Amino acid sequence: MVCTVVVGGFWGDEGKGKIVSYLALRDKVKIGVRGGVGPNAGHTVQYQGETLRLRMLPSALVNPKTRLLLGAGVLVNPARFLEEVEAFKVKGRVGLDPNCAIIEPKHLEADRSEHFSGKIGTTGTGTGPCNSDRVQRKAKTAREIPELQEFLSDVASEVNEALDEGENVLVEGTQGTFLSLYHGTYPYVTSKDVTASAICSDVGLGPTRVDEVLIVFKAYVTRVGQGPLPGELSQEEAERRGWAEVATVTGRRRRAAPFNLELARKAVMLNGATQAAITKLDVLYPECRGADSYEKLPEEAKAFVRKIEEALGIPVTILGTGPEALQIVDLTKRKA
């Protein structure tokens, strides 16, 4: 039995979806459960020639034997949830907690207000206003929505019982450490805490049940919207380096900066991370593209990985060498 929590190390967009999908396949995960905020997070997974863009469902869906759950802390847009269930044909293996709060049309409207869209740079998905209503005990919950009744499940019990039975459980977070309402670059943050402790709380896991916290970093740093970004490059320089990206949910340009060891160290501390993954190594070092073993990496890339390990004090166990779920260098196999 292994319970692994996957969390973002910077401001989101680190490639958590890719890492989660790989782990779901490698570890034959029984349950993939999502914590985090709601449909303001977009995870993109490429697998077997398909590109899956997810806003509600866990990225573990690539494993057809994995049960997919949404913890009580997740905000649900019913239309988006049902759309994904139908699109990805996963109806028989999806569950959501009755206590998930519901994003209503009024929340979408409020999210377009100047306070949210102007000052903070919101995604416009209604999550901030919905969380505000939840704190005030005014939000509707999934148990009140007729079309969600067939999906309701006591998620905390399901997850803990699976661990009791010796099954592998994968807990997927959203956003990134420095978008945390408490530990991030306030006020340019999301509407709740998104560090590993909060993700566990979202799904009903006590701290003693977690075996590994895998923190995901991109080989460079990106951020969408407003707020500080140390070492930020000009758009022209980001494009020259091949770091210019577009956000999955909003379509906004991502701002870019070089990998930041100081921020990474703090993120490891805040999350109690036990291991790290580095994605898009192939963007930083194109020779890495498609590599499936450590030996195939150029020396410059190996030195980059060693530098991060030494600075963070935890092992780097997974390297992303392309967009596809299985374009991975798995260092756990090398070190086994």
What is the set of active-site residues?
13, 43
User: In whole angstroms, what is the distance from residue 29 CA to residue 14 CA?
Assistant: 22
Q: How far is CA 305 from the centre of its chain?
A: 21
User: In whole angstroms, what is the distance from residue 249 CA to residue 53 CA?
Assistant: 9
Give yes or no for a contact between 249 and 41, defined as CB atoms under 8 angstroms apart. Answer: yes
How is residue 145 written in tokens? 């929505």
According to DSSP, the residues that pair with 34 across neighbouring strands are 70, 172
CA angle 288, 322, 217 (to 5 degrees): 90
In 3D space, the residue among 34, 31, 30 whose CA is nearest the CA of residue 56 turns out to be 34
User: In whole angstroms, what is the distance from residue 304 CA to residue 85 CA?
Assistant: 40
Instruction: Quickly tell me which residue has 């805040």 as its tokens.
Output: 270
What's the longest Cα–Cα distance across the chain?
Answer: 57
**Beta strand 169-172 pairing with 220-224:** unpaired
What DSSP letter does each residue of 186-206 carry, written as one string? TTSS-SS--SHHHHHHHHT--
How is residue 222 written in tokens? 């990106």
CA angle 291, 296, 302 (to 5 degrees): 100
